[in-house]
Amino acid sequence: MKLHEIRDNEGANRTKKRVARGPGSGKGKTAGRGIKGQKSRSGVALNGYEGGQMPLYRRLPKRGFTAPNAKKFAVVNLGQLQSFIDAGKLDAKADVTEDALVASGVVRRKLDGIRLLGKGELKAALNIAVAGASKSAVEAVEKAGGKVTVTAPAPAAE
């Protein structure tokens, strides 16, 4: 095969239909838009319009609620911590704080705090201080011989 022999697959590159280019083209004059009416004009966007029928987005009920004061946590899994320790980017002997996690590049930024989740396997015994941790993560760290300190207060039960 030579450079001048390279071609696209058959049918991969179709030529654009040139509308409004005379009656011989088959799409001349009105360019397939018919005569008069809103859709024949330029600048019309009828997304979601169903011909006067109540549109789907208005027929369906509204559901749910987004709390305006919800906390957004940066998430770290145990498997990520282990891979950073194996790569030498995180010191297993020193305390693992939120600032240490940001400095090593495990997370980009703290947001409202860092939350530790239990996905993956942790072999190193770590002392971890984070804003939140799942039960499975705490159990896995303690099983490996470490300790988790949750710095953020637990939400008050009403």
* pLDDT band for position 158 (cuts 50, 70, 90): low
- What are the respective helix, strand and coil percentages of the chain, to the nearest 5? 25, 15, 65
Helix H or strand E encompassing 132: strand 132-133
CB under 8 Å, gap of 24 or more: what pairs does 56-64 form? Answer: none
Q: State the pTM of this model.
A: 0.57
One of 3.90.1150.10, 1.10.10.60, 3.30.1510.10, 3.100.10.10 is the CATH number of 74-150, namely 3.100.10.10
The pLDDT > 70 percentage for the chain reads 96
- Summarize pLDDT for 9-61 with one digit per residue, the tens: 998 998 999 999 999 989 999 999 999 988 899 888 788 888 889 999 999 99
* pLDDT band for position 124 (cuts 50, 70, 90): confident
Query: Residue 156 above 70 pLDDT?
Result: no
Integer Cα distance of 132 and 117 in angstroms: 9
Integer Cα distance of 70 and 118 in angstroms: 22
For the chain, domain boundaries: 74-150
Integer Cα distance of 90 and 104 in angstroms: 6
For residue 153, the 8-state DSSP code is P
Q: What is the pLDDT of residue 69?
A: 92
Integer Cα distance of 129 and 90 in angstroms: 14
* Pairing of the two strands 114-117 and 147-150: unpaired
